[in-house]
């Protein structure tokens, strides 16, 4: 059974020699400029560190910028830290680490004040108090928005300006990070990357922060932008870092579905304002699926939508906004503008929606300060597994997590950098791989689409052992072909990263023989607390410079979190 967790990944994807590669030297290098990465960089710079922020595309092209929803924070009357923590524990289905949830929730008001101090503006009522709304899983209105459905854009533009204005921060755009470099002692010492001209560059630092976002592009149906190819998780794994809970992938239940068009998220704030899901016959079906109907947790809504689509032989369901208590065009201007482009009047026409991959709940295993299992390597935001989300992320908690924990990570990384000094970077030997026979070529685009389709079929909203075993056998076949490729093309390296993380997620989903939160197995439909009341960590095992396989470890969670998922309860 050990070989079913076999990977055979090269430690480094691209060889290089120092005499041919320019080096930039900093105290802290942050990969990614979304909420988590930007706040981390600003915090480290404020502590006196020299910081490089390396971006895959433009500085403001991030998952954060796409966020239509808001930030969950305890800011309104009647709400409390205890209530927000309790909601997070409940939605997380027994796997939330309570001490992490409490630290993040308690830091919410200060994080919002920090953003406002940087210039961010949030929606307010006439009396000047915050205009807070509801989302699925929350028991109180605590979702803070900017310009209705443009919260992410407001936060990103504010943080981008702050990065550009800070004298201790240099930003590098359109640079693709390839690998985390480590020394002989296993400590992180830098990053190898490829710039917009296709040239290799190295960034040396004793503290490397991965804030690269998620991996939604692993799936055919996703709300994520094209940059979300799981690069940070794959880089961290190849550097020796443990990953955790990758079987938990959140599917957002309401993605705009129009054949041939890119999937666009229709935010949960629409249902929070009164939007109703209806099947093709106009029947509102969510009341039969959960007591909170359309405001049930996202995993439940996603499964209910998928099942109703199957029962009615339809490709989508409709999201009806005619019951919203204010003009939908004014309340949700961004959504209105997108739908109008496709001839949909959201005040009268149901919006065609279906589930899509939205958020990687698992990621690189970190402690509360953001440290991975590799010295000098940190992770923040969606590519990190902090334990906040458990088995099912509650809406709008992720931006909060990045804003709160990013400040802690930046401070600690700056302190560690001051104590460690600047390490040396060493050349990397050529990859040991077999060249394909003459005339044999691998079509990167075709293989990428095939992988995305396979993940959607076998690792989507519902899974089974037979489907996952089929997926793993196919992944093994593809991985052998891809390993022979010269990885001087960014798309080839992205494919290696996506295939690596897709396999890890499938390993975890096959190992976890229960249904909990976003992980639903048709062959094991109940929660199994006796066996699976734990996080599932995967640690890389190397033979020389090749990552051969991963080993598994179950990590129990705190007793307070366990009570949220009683034995035998349905997922």
In sequence order, the 6+-apart residues with CB closer than 8 A to the CB of 49 are 26, 27, 28, 168, 207, 413, 414, 417, 418
pTM of the model: 0.92
Q: Tell me: pLDDT of 569 over 60.
A: no
Residue 176's beta-bridge partner residues?
Answer: 194
The answer to whether 298 is a known catalytic residue is: yes
Active site residue: 220, 298, 354, 503, which one?
298
Q: How many helices (H) and strands (E) does the chain have?
A: 17, 23
437-444 contact pairs (CB < 8 A, 24+): 442/481, 442/482, 442/484, 442/485, 444/485, 444/489, 444/491, 444/492, 444/495
CB atoms within 10 A of CB 241: 26
Which strand ranges, in their side-by-side order, compose the sheet holding 207-210? 169-172, 51-54, 28-31, 207-210, 377-379
> How distant is the alpha carbon of residue 347 from its chain centre?
32
pLDDT for res 333? 86
For residues 122-135, give the mean pLDDT. 91
Q: What is the pLDDT of residues 60-117, one digit of tens each?
A: 888 898 777 789 999 999 999 999 999 999 999 999 999 999 999 999 999 999 999 9
pLDDT for res 132? 93
Q: Tell me: pLDDT of 261 over 90.
A: no
Q: What is the pLDDT of residues 375-391, one digit of tens each?
A: 999 999 999 999 999 99
Structure tokens at 76: 């309104």
Angle at the Cα of 272 from the Cα atoms of 270 and 277, rounded to 5 degrees: 65
- Higher per-residue confidence, 364 vs 136: 364
Which strand ranges, in their side-by-side order, compose the sheet holding 6-10? 6-10, 546-556, 534-543, 243-244, 363-365, 384-385
Calpha distance 354→348 (Å, rounded): 19
Calpha distance 240→238 (Å, rounded): 5
Q: Tell me: pLDDT of 567 over 50.
A: no
The CATH code belonging to domain 250-357 is: 3.90.700.10
Burial, 567: exposed, middle or buried (Cβ in 10 Å; 0-12, 13-18, 19+)?
A: exposed
Share of the chain above pLDDT 70, in %: 95
Structure tokens at 365: 């295993």
pLDDT for res 434? 65
Q: What is the pLDDT of residues 194-238, one digit of tens each?
A: 999 999 999 999 999 999 999 999 999 998 989 999 999 999 999
Share of the chain above pLDDT 90, in %: 76
For residues 165-184, give the mean pLDDT. 97
> How distant is the alpha carbon of residue 299 from its chain centre?
16
* Mean confidence (pLDDT) of the chain: 91
| Cβ(157)–Cβ(34) below 8 Å | no
For residues 287-305, give the mean pLDDT. 90
């Amino acid at each position: 059974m050990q070989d079913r967790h076999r990977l055979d990944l090269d430690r480094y994807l691209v060889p290089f020699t120092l005499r041919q590669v320019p080096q930039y030297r900093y105290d802290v290098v942050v990969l990614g400029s979304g909420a988590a990465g930007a706040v981390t960089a600003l915090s480290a710079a404020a502590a006196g560190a020299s910081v490089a922020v390396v971006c895959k595309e433009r500085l403001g092209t991030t998952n954060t910028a796409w966020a239509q929803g808001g930030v969950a924070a305890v800011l309104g009357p009647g709400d409390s830290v205890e209530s927000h923590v309790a909601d997070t524990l409940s939605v997380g289905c027994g796997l939330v680490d309570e001490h992490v949830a409490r630290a993040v929730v308690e830091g919410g008001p200060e994080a919002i004040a920090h953003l406002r101090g940087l210039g961010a503006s949030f929606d307010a009522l006439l009396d000047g108090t915050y205009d807070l709304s509801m989302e699925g899983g929350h028991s109180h209105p605590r979702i803070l928005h900017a310009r209705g459905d443009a919260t992410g854009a407001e936060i990103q533009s504010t943080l981008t300006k702050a990065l550009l204005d800070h004298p201790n921060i240099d930003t590098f755009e359109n640079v693709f990070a390839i690998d985390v470099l480590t020394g002989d002692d296993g400590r992180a010492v830098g990053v190898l990357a490829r710039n917009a001209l296709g040239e290799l560059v190295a960034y040396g630092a004793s503290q490397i922060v991965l804030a690269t976002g998620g991996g939604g592009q692993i799936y055919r149906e996703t709300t994520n932008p094209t940059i979300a190819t799981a690069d940070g998780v794959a880089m961290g794994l190849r550097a020796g870092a443990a990953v955790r809970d990758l079987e938990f992938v959140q599917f957002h239940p309401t993605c705009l579905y129009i054949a041939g068009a890119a999937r666009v998220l229709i935010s949960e704030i629409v249902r929070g304002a009164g939007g109703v899901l209806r099947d093709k016959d106009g029947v509102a079906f969510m009341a039969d699926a959960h007591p909170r109907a359309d405001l049930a947790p996202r995993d439940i809504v996603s499964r209910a939508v998928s099942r109703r689509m199957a029962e009615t032989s339809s490709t989508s369901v409709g999201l009806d906004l005619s019951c919203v208590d204010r003009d939908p065009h004014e309340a949700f201007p961004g959504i209105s503008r997108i739908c109008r482009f496709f001839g949909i009047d959201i005040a009268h026409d149901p919006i065609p929606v279906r589930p899509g991959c939205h958020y990687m709940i698992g990621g690189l295993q970190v402690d509360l300060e953001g440290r991975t299992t590799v010295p000098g390597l940190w992770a923040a935001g969606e590519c990190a597994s902090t334990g906040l989300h458990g088995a099912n992320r509650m809406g709008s908690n992720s931006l909060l997590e990045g804003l709160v924990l990013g400040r802690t990570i930046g401070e600690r990384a700056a302190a560690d950098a001051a104590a460690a000094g600047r390490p040396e970077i060493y050349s990397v030997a050529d990859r040991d791989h077999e060249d394909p026979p003459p005339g044999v070529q691998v079509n990167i685009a075709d293989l990428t689409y095939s992988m995305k389709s396979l993940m959607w079929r076998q690792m989507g909203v519902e899974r089974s052992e037979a489907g996952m075993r089929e997926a793993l056998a196919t992944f093994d076949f593809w991985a052998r072909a891809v390993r022979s490729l010269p990885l001087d093309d960014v798309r080839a390296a992205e494919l290696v990263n996506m295939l690596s993380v897709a396999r890890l997620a499938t390993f975890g989903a096959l190992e976890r023989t229960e249904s909990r939160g976003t992980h639903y197995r048709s062959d094991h439909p109940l929660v199994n607390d006796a066996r699976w009341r734990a996080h599932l960590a995967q640690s890389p095992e190397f033979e020389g410079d090749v990552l051969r396989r991963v080993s598994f470890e179950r990590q129990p969670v705190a007793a307070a979190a366990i009570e949220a998922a009683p034995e035998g309860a349905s997922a």
